[in-house]
């Protein structure tokens, strides 16, 4: 898909991987809609990149529809959706205080998996209404999973389940949306230097980085954004899940 001049919406665009993605797409000439539940984060990023801030929750049909309608009215219609919004948890299936509360499990599934699905289904309906571009189709969706989809650690049961669901949606979504000229790809990041990890003490960051074969450091949000650019721009990549992890394989704990 052509990035320059295209309307794009980035969920979780107010921080971390989504912020870097919003910045890169804007630098490449896209009209970027920064959608985040953190209104201040969305405003800050949108103001810096000349984009449009939209506060909302990915799990809400009303919020998502309103945001996507705005993005669909820009340029030649919505062409790019990048789902970066997500939350983590640390809770065991059976912890010291007993079984993991069901609502804690459901909350992670709701934001990460149902939220991604909600954005995909509502965005697909809008992208499908755009004119097909010669050799490029109508649009592209990029979702964010995690290497925890494959090697979930102890305490990551809900997070792993949510990200595994995102990985599993990649192929059926790509197969189904192909007839509309919409591609669907997924990135499974390893460990990235976002506000979450950057807040850890240097020692903890160093020990995480030491587990990464090469380069032995945390990934940068810009490296994530660069992969989004590739998945958006190359018209032949579809239904793919790309690990972006410096050959990291997470250990049980």
- CB of 125 or CB of 197, closer to ligand NAD: 197
The answer to whether residue 155 forms part of the interface with ligand NAD (CB under 6 A) is no
Of 35, 159, 192, 224, the catalytic one is: 159
Q: How far is the CB of 116 from ligand NAD (least distance, A)?
A: 8
Among 66, 87, 125, 237, interactor with ligand NAD by CB under 6 A? 87
Tell me which residue of 135, 143, 39 sits closest to 85, measured CA to CA. 143
The answer to whether residue 82 forms part of the interface with ligand NAD (CB under 6 A) is no
Binding-site residue total for ligand NAD (CB under 6 A)? 30
The answer to whether residue 245 forms part of the interface with ligand NAD (CB under 6 A) is no
- CB of 7 or CB of 162, closer to ligand NAD: 162
The answer to whether residue 182 forms part of the interface with ligand NAD (CB under 6 A) is no
The answer to whether residue 41 forms part of the interface with ligand NAD (CB under 6 A) is yes
Among 1, 3, 7, 12, interactor with ligand NAD by CB under 6 A? 12
Q: Among the candidate windows 9-17, 94-102, 127-135, 230-238, which touches ligand NAD by CB under 6 A?
A: 9-17
The CA-based angle 118-119-121, given to 5 degrees, is 65
- CB of 137 or CB of 224, closer to ligand NAD: 224
Residues identified as active-site: 159
* Interface residues toward ligand NAD, by CB under 6 A: 11-12, 14-18, 36-38, 41, 57-59, 84-88, 111, 115, 144, 146, 189, 191-192, 194-197
């Amino acid at each position: 898909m052509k990035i320059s001049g295209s309307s794009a919406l980035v969920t979780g665009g107010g921080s971390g991987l989504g912020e870097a993605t919003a910045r890169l797409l804007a630098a490449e000439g896209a009209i970027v809609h920064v959608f985040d539940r953190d209104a201040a984060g969305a405003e800050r990023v949108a103001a810096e990149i000349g984009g449009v801030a939209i506060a909302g929750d990915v799990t809400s049909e009303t919020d998502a529809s309103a945001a996507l309608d705005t993005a669909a009215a820009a340029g030649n219609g919505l062409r790019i959706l990048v789902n970066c919004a997500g939350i983590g948890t640390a809770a065991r299936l059976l912890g010291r205080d007993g079984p993991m509360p069901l609502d804690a499990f459901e909350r992670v599934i709701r934001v990460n998996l149902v939220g991604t699905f909600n954005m995909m289904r509502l965005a697909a309906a809008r992208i499908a209404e755009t004119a097909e571009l010669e050799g490029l189709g109508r649009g592209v969706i990029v979702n964010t999973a995690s290497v925890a989809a494959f090697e979930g650690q102890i305490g990551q049961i809900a997070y792993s389940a949510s990200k595994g669901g995102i990985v599993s949606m990649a192929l059926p979504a790509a197969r189904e949306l192909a007839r509309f000229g919409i591609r669907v790809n997924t990135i499974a990041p390893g460990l990235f230097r976002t506000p979450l990890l950057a807040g850890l003490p240097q020692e903890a960051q160093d020990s995480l980085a030491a587990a990464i074969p090469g380069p032995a450091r945390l990934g940068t949000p810009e490296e994530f954004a660069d992969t989004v650019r590739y998945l958006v721009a190359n018209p032949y990549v579809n239904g793919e899940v790309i690990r972006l992890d410096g050959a990291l394989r997470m250990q049980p704990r």
